[in-house]
A = this chain, B = another copy of it.
């Protein structure tokens, strides 16, 4: 998910940051779990300094809760938080998609098409076991949603959407197998793509929001 593109070795603090984040995301580290420095030093095989560095950053991003002089804990994952994330995603991505449709050029259209194509080529539930690394589908899916809004022309909006997307993944992983509702995700994505390329902002946003809300019902049904 966070590959080191250049061959240069990045600092330990930075790579540990991504590793811990991935492990919280994929629920290898459970909500509420104590993140002791010694435990983490052993687990990620480095001294306490890079660990603290990573934990401080994760705390700001909301993955970790810090209590001064008492240590770090994996952030809780409550249904209320999930609802909050979902609602904010709808608000931000709706706006971002509108702006992208308004400003996007043909280069953007191509990105959307190719991202959608790559995602479609992958089987959804290929490799999404908890604890595993991030699956190819997950990356392609993320790439598709990022492509949709990439032309929104607002760095802040993109960053916030990305952050909420990542927070959301965790709930998908945590709730895996807890629902029997069957969804046709493929069709939903197709619809979003088509309406976006038609530049029908209202309909595209509507499809996108329904897509997210359906995710909500899927994970925590009956509301």
B11, A154: Cβ atoms under 8 Å?
no
Residues of B within 8 A of A155 (CB): 81, 84
B10, A68: Cβ atoms under 8 Å?
yes
Number of this chain's copies in the assembly equals: 2
- A56 is an interface residue with CB less than 8 A from chain B: yes
Residues of B within 8 A of A19 (CB): none
Query: Which residue from B49, B52, B154 sits with its C-beta under 8 Å from A88?
Result: B154
B11, A84: Cβ atoms under 8 Å?
no
A149 CB to nearest chain B CB (Å): 13
Residues of B within 8 A of A154 (CB): 84, 87-88
- A114 is an interface residue with CB less than 8 A from chain B: no
Residues of B within 8 A of A13 (CB): 56
Complex-state Cα separation, A88 to B95, whole angstroms: 10
A209 CB to nearest chain B CB (Å): 14
Closest B residue to A66 by CB, please name it: B14
Stretch at the interface among A57-65, A131-139, A189-197: A57-65
A130 CB to nearest chain B CB (Å): 24
Closest B residue to A88 by CB, please name it: B156
- A173 is an interface residue with CB less than 8 A from chain B: no
B11, A68: Cβ atoms under 8 Å?
yes
Top 4 nearest A-B pairs by Cβ distance? A60-B60, A88-B156, A57-B60, A84-B156
Q: Mark A residues whose CB is within 8 Å of B.
A: 10-11, 13-14, 49, 52-53, 56-57, 59-61, 68-69, 81, 84-85, 87-88, 91-92, 95, 154-157, 160, 164
